[in-house]
């Protein structure tokens, strides 16, 4: 047989439910913030990887002196964000 709950027990249960709902919403908000940060940073990361790849290919050029090639690579790497 199930015993009826007291008003204090009901109030405590409602408080636990409210706290759980607040934690759930807090976690959801944190996940949204992390997702937004990732989406904002992803294009920059990809851009920097492409710039690095270009700089590495420039360093393989043989038509100029080594100082000139190094200067080109440094200039290209300076375009990273």
Q: Would you state the pLDDT for residue 41?
A: 96
Which residues, other chains included, contact 51 with Cβ-Cβ below 8 Å and sequence gap of 6+?
Answer: 76, 77, 79, 80
CB 81 within 8 A of CB 47: yes
Confidence of residue 1 (pLDDT cuts 50, 70, 90): low
DSSP tag of 5: P
Q: 15-38 pLDDT, tens per residue?
A: 999 999 999 999 999 999 999 999
With residue 21 as reference, give the H or E element that holds it.
helix 7-58
Q: How far from 31 is each of 24, 26, 27, CA to CA, in Å?
A: 11, 9, 6
Write down the pTM of the prediction.
0.64
């Amino acid at each position: 047989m199930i015993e009826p709950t007291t008003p204090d027990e009901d109030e405590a249960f409602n408080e636990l439910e409210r706290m759980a709902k607040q934690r759930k919403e807090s976690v959801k908000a944190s996940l949204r913030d992390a997702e937004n940060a990732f989406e904002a940073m992803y294009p920059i990361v990809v851009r920097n990887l492409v710039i690095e790849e270009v700089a590495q290919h420039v360093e393989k050029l043989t038509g100029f002196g080594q100082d000139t090639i190094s200067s080109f690579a440094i200039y290209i790497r300076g375009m990273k964000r």
